[in-house]
Homo-oligomer: A and B are copies of this chain.
Amino acid sequence: MVLSMFFIFLVGTAGSGKSLLTASLEKWLVGSDLSVTVVNLDPGVESPPYTSDVDIREYVDYGEVMRTFGLGPNGALVASLDMAVGHVDDLREEIIETERDYVLVDCPGQMELFAYRNSGPLMVSGLRGDDPAVSLYLLDSNIARTATGYLSSMLLGVSINIRFGLPQQSLLSKPDILTEDEVEEIVQWGEEVYLLGDALDQSADGLVREYSKSILEMLENLDTVTGTIPVSAKNMTGFDILYGELQRVFSGGDNLYE
């Protein structure tokens, strides 16, 4: 009998690799003899790289919303998500009925239309109920490869963390497009904030240099800056470290940041 399910929400900017990571994390967990339910929350996705067990598309028809209300792609996505909030109890019931160990929730491709609207946070809290939950924030390696890009990605991560209010773990997504040295440097920026400061001093221009000290202090105080885990869906690497971190969160209250 399953006493509680562990909810994992995958969030990140469009193109950061959420759906592929959902697919590969499912594969890894199942390969470790754990049972997994995969939830697709993107009304507009055509063929995600996994077989969803629970799917928002069964409740709202994005194409029909577009046609019926004469909306463009963005407007239709927003309207679909707003409409789906009314079905959040049904979605949760479907999830509960699967009686699995883990629930992977692949959030909509455009984070902006999900996180910074009221429907996104409502959907997240409605789905997880009182079950333990964590969000995985994907940093896109294309952006995080420079110190300035990393800094702006971390700020965006804190902003999203506040929107959803869940313990949050940062992942470096698609590290396979970087060299090993680059990946190592990014991981170190997360472990020792002064190294990020040094990198910013060397590469950043006026405004970022002026801001960096205050931002670095904040990141250090929040402790979110520690532990960006590189996880490659392509090479199936990093999942053991991620799993260890998830265990730490789910076993120790739901508190990633203490």
A196–B257 CA distance with the chains assembled, in angstroms: 23
With an 8 Å Cβ cutoff, the count of chain A residues facing the other chain is 50
A143–B116 CA distance with the chains assembled, in angstroms: 7
Which residue from chain B places its CB closest to the CB of A166 in the assembled complex? B207
Contact code string A142-154 (vs B, CB < 8 Å = 1, else 0): 1100001101110
Residues from 20 to 78 in A contacting B, C-beta threshold 8 Å = 44, 46, 72-74, 78
Q: Which of B44, B109, B152 contacts A163 (CB 8 A)?
A: B152
Q: Which of B152, B156, B158, B213 contacts A211 (CB 8 A)?
A: B158
Residues from 84 to 138 in A contacting B, C-beta threshold 8 Å = 109-113, 116-118
Given A112-B110, A217-B218, A155 and B152 contact (CB-CB distance below 8 Å): no
In the assembled complex, A206 has its CB within 8 A of some CB on chain B: yes
The complex is assembled from copies of this chain, and their number is 2
A251–B2 CA distance with the chains assembled, in angstroms: 66
A217–B257 CA distance with the chains assembled, in angstroms: 19
B156 close to A74 (CB less than 8 A): no
Which residue from chain B places its CB closest to the CB of A148 in the assembled complex? B162
Q: Which of B116, B208, B215 contacts A140 (CB 8 A)?
A: B116
B13 close to A162 (CB less than 8 A): no
A167–B210 CA distance with the chains assembled, in angstroms: 12
Closest Cβ of chain B to A218, distance in Å, is 4
Which residue from chain B places its CB closest to the CB of A200 in the assembled complex? B162
Closest Cβ of chain B to A238, distance in Å, is 22
A156 close to B116 (CB less than 8 A): yes
Q: Which of B44, B111, B152, B208 contacts A112 (CB 8 A)?
A: B111
B14 close to A113 (CB less than 8 A): yes
A46–B73 CA distance with the chains assembled, in angstroms: 12
**A211 — which chain B residues lie within 8 A by C-beta?**
158, 161-162, 222
In the assembled complex, A221 has its CB within 8 A of some CB on chain B: yes
What 4 pairs between A and B have smallest CB-CB spacing?
A: A214-B221, A155-B159, A73-B73, A218-B218
